[in-house]
């Protein structure tokens, strides 16, 4: 039997297996799921081991990761497949059609937390390898799996694992499927990802909440001040006002501009898909440019004062906000965290205390656009989708991709199987069953194509 026939035969079984994977609530951010993280890592390792891929669950200091290896021959290239089994918290639960960890099929979608980000995409590669091992008995390339449990938590411990296991992880190329196609039937290979910088800002005023009748007018309100500070981080043209913020911003090359110009884009359709009523962002750039090639700043959450039922008239003692900034080459999280802190301290009035906690983040990445690996990936994608992939930059971040380059010297192929409207990080996350199957077939084709590349 050929790998592609095996795949046809396995279409419905594979979906049941993916559902099993999705039923394990592997939320990395919340400690109540700690045991499920272990269970999920073990599920992945067992799955790989069952098809004779030597696998282990490795401790990292944080959530465990899964390493698996299959050696075909010394002459074949080695492909390191990276992905993550951890998922985002499922809240808000009341907006889900079903329970987030009880997958259902509806209108051609599989709906569950992790369906597209990233369990469904990782599983497509696991099945790709399986299709070879269960038919021809060997894979055309050497394969190493690195499937971690902390991607959604900025891969805090993976860097060290990679630094300590350089030999074990040595390879010729990395493959990551943790992003999106350009659209339905429009596959994409990404040549860049944005980076990210995190800060938490806390404004502290009186040493306890005060009656806003007795003290209002005398004592500054930390929530009012925090809102004012946040309001001053962007100007009316959508530009970020932090001093020096744009110092190291990379300007797109002509080739990149051409790629952007080639992308079909319907603004009203895009807008409608968000449920928002107007597009908004930095003046002077198209929507696509703004989401992929320009840095941004967003408050992810804001807290302070009374949020319970009814009214409570107080001057809250403190207020805080979690802020992230998306970075483009050649910005770094350290530089941007420092600049954000300096600017906020500069504009904050002295009658409150401002505490800025800098959490760092990850660097943006660009991968070469003229390599034989990329050509091979492009062929594999085309053989399945029957159209050439678009070359795109993505607005999201995958922290470890940069480490693959700096520590292991490896470039990464970013081949997304999902869709932008798969509701990653949102309620009703989903993955088109058709995309899962095409992802799987692409994986099979990819190993074949990569085997022909001489490193
Ligand atoms: N799979 C995403 C990254 C992604 C999103 C790539 C959209 C391409 C398009 C990944 O799981 C993710 O969510 N990353 C976080 C990283 C953060 C926690 C450091 C992100 O981008 O917010
Ligand atoms: Mn992901
Ligand atoms: Mn994610």
Kindly state whether residues 168 and 213 are assigned to the same domain: no
Question: Which residue has the least CA distance to atom 13 on ligand 1?
Answer: 152
- Residue 382 is encoded by which pair of tokens? 């085309």
Each residue's pLDDT tens digit, 378-425: 999 999 999 999 999 999 999 999 999 999 999 999 999 999 999 999
> Could you tell me if residue 95 is inside a domain?
yes
How far does the centroid of ligand 3 lie from the alpha carbon of residue 151, in Å? 7
Tokens 């943006």 belong to 364
What CA–CA distance (Å, rounded) separates 52 from 47? 9
3-class DSSP state of 147: strand
Confirm if 195 and 400 have CB atoms less than 8 A apart: no
Atom of ligand 1 nearest to the CA of 153: 18
How far does the centroid of ligand 1 lie from the alpha carbon of residue 154, in Å? 9
- Residue 238 is encoded by which pair of tokens? 């959508």
Kindly state whether residues 99 and 243 are assigned to the same domain: no
Kindly state whether residues 227 and 200 are assigned to the same domain: yes
> Could you tell me if residue 442 is inside a domain?
yes
pLDDT exceeds cutoff 70 at 455: no
What CA–CA distance (Å, rounded) separates 275 from 444? 37
What is the count of structural domains for the chain? 2
Given this model, what pLDDT does residue 78 score?
Answer: 98
**Residue 418: CB within 6 Å of ligand 1?**
no
3-class DSSP state of 386: coil
**Residue 86: CB within 6 Å of ligand 1?**
no
Atom of ligand 1 nearest to the CA of 425: 13
| Catalytic sites, residue numbers | 86, 151
Domain termination residue (choose one: 362, 388, 411)? 362
Domain termination residue (choose one: 306, 334, 362)? 362
> Could you tell me if residue 202 is inside a domain?
yes
Atom of ligand 1 nearest to the CA of 324: 22
Confirm if 158 and 65 have CB atoms less than 8 A apart: yes
Residue 82: its H or E element? strand 78-84
Each residue's pLDDT tens digit, 214-226: 999 999 999 999 9
- Residue 418 is encoded by which pair of tokens? 């999902």
What CA–CA distance (Å, rounded) separates 203 from 217? 18
Kindly state whether residues 188 and 199 are assigned to the same domain: no
> Could you tell me if residue 255 is inside a domain?
no
> Could you tell me if residue 278 is inside a domain?
no
**Residue 398: CB within 6 Å of ligand 1?**
yes
Kindly state whether residues 104 and 142 are assigned to the same domain: yes
Rg (alpha carbons) of the chain, rounded to whole number = 23
CATH of residue 415? 3.40.630.10
Handedness of CA 325, 268, 426, 150 (dihedral sign): negative
- Residue 155 is encoded by which pair of tokens? 């891969």
How far does the centroid of ligand 2 lie from the alpha carbon of residue 79, in Å? 19
Tell which wins on pLDDT, 255 or 35.
35
Kindly state whether residues 65 and 162 are assigned to the same domain: yes
Q: Is 371 exposed, middle or buried (0-12, 13-18, 19+ CB in 10 A)?
A: middle
Confirm if 143 and 443 have CB atoms less than 8 A apart: no
Kindly state whether residues 114 and 240 are assigned to the same domain: no
Each residue's pLDDT tens digit, 51-107: 999 999 999 999 999 999 999 999 999 999 999 999 999 999 999 999 999 999 999
Contacts of residue 347, Cβ cutoff 8 Å, sequence gap at least 6: 229, 232
Kindly state whether residues 52 and 199 are assigned to the same domain: no
pTM for the structure as a whole: 0.93
How far does the centroid of ligand 3 lie from the alpha carbon of residue 119, in Å? 10
CATH of residue 304? 3.30.70.360
What CA–CA distance (Å, rounded) separates 369 from 305? 50
Given this model, what pLDDT does residue 259 score?
Answer: 85
> Which residues on neighbouring strands pair with residue 301, listed in sequence order?
322
Domain termination residue (choose one: 339, 362, 385)? 362
**Residue 151: CB within 6 Å of ligand 1?**
yes
Kindly state whether residues 206 and 352 are assigned to the same domain: yes
Identify which of 118, 176, 396 to mutate to test ligand 1's pocket (most ligand atoms within 8 A of the CB). Answer: 396
How far does the centroid of ligand 3 lie from the alpha carbon of residue 364, in Å? 16
Given this model, what pLDDT does residue 154 score?
Answer: 86
pLDDT exceeds cutoff 80 at 296: yes
49-78 per-residue burial string, b: 16 or more CB within 10 A, e: under 16: eebebebebbebebbbbbbbbbebeeebbb
> Could you tell me if residue 324 is inside a domain?
yes
Rounded average pLDDT over 328-335:
98
**Residue 363: CB within 6 Å of ligand 1?**
no
> Could you tell me if residue 261 is inside a domain?
no
Each residue's pLDDT tens digit, 14-27: 999 999 999 999 99
Q: Which domain holds residue 215?
A: 195-249+295-362
Kindly state whether residues 376 and 328 are assigned to the same domain: no
- Residue 415 is encoded by which pair of tokens? 């081949």
Rounded average pLDDT over 6-15:
94
**Residue 356: CB within 6 Å of ligand 1?**
no
Confirm if 427 and 95 have CB atoms less than 8 A apart: yes
Identify which of 62, 88, 150, 152 to mutate to test ligand 1's pocket (most ligand atoms within 8 A of the CB). Answer: 152
**Residue 178: CB within 6 Å of ligand 1?**
yes
Q: Is 137 exposed, middle or buried (0-12, 13-18, 19+ CB in 10 A)?
A: exposed
Question: Which residue has the least CA distance to atom 18 on ligand 1?
Answer: 152
Given this model, what pLDDT does residue 71 score?
Answer: 97
Kindly state whether residues 164 and 233 are assigned to the same domain: no
- Residue 223 is encoded by which pair of tokens? 């929530």
Kindly state whether residues 435 and 301 are assigned to the same domain: no
Atom of ligand 1 nearest to the CA of 361: 19
**Residue 397: CB within 6 Å of ligand 1?**
yes
> Could you tell me if residue 152 is inside a domain?
yes
């Amino acid at each position: 039997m050929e790998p592609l026939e095996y795949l046809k035969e396995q279409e419905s079984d594979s979906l049941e297996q993916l559902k099993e994977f999705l039923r394990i609530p592997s939320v990395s951010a919340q400690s109540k799921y700690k045991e499920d993280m272990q269970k999920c890592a073990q599920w992945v390792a067992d799955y790989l081991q069952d098809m004779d891929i030597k696998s282990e669950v490795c401790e990292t200091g944080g959530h465990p990761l899964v390493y698996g290896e299959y050696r075909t021959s010394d002459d074949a290239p080695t492909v390191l497949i990276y992905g993550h089994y951890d998922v985002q918290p499922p809240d808000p639960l009341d907006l889900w059609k079903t329970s987030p960890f009880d997958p259902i099929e509806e209108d051609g979608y599989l709906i569950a937390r992790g369906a597209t980000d990233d369990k469904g995409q990782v599983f497509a590669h696991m099945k790709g390898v399986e299709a070879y091992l269960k038919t021809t008995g060997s894979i055309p390339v050497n394969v190493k799996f690195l499937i971690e449990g902390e991607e959604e938590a900025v891969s805090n411990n993976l860097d060290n694992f990679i630094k300590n296991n350089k030999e074990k992880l040595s390879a010729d190329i990395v493959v990551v499927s943790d992003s999106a196609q350009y659209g339905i039937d429009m596959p994409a290979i990404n040549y860049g990802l944005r980076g990210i910088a995190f800060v938490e800002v806390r404004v502290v005023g009186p040493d306890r909440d005060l009656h806003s009748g007795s003290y209002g007018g005398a004592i500054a309100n930390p929530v009012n001040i925090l809102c004012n500070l946040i309001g001053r981080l962007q100007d009316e043209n959508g530009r970020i006002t932090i001093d020096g913020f744009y110092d190291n911003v990379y300007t797109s090359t002509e080739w990149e501009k051409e790629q952007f110009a080639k992308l079909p884009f319907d603004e009203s359709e895009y807008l409608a898909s968000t449920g928002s009523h107007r597009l908004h962002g930095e003046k002077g750039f198209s929507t696509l440019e703004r989401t992929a090639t320009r840095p941004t700043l967003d408050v992810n959450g804001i807290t302070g004062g009374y949020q319970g039922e009814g009214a409570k008239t107080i001057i809250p003692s403190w207020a805080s906000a979690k802020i992230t900034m998306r970075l483009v080459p050649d910005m770094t999280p350290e530089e941007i965290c420092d600049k954000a802190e300096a600017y906020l301290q500069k504009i904050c009035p002295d009658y409150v205390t401002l505490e800025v906690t800098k959490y760092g983040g990850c660097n943006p990445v660009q991968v070469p656009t003229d390599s034989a690996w990329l050509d091979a990936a492009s062929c594999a994608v085309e053989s399945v989708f029957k159209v050439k992939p678009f070359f795109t930059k993505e607005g999201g971040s995958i922290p470890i991709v940069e480490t693959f380059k700096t520590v292991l010297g490896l470039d990464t192929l970013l081949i997304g199987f999902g869709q932008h409207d798969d509701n990653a990080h949102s309620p009703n996350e989903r993955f088109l069953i058709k995309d899962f199957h095409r992802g799987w077939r692409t994986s099979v084709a990819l190993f074949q194509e990569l085997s022909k590349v001489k490193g």
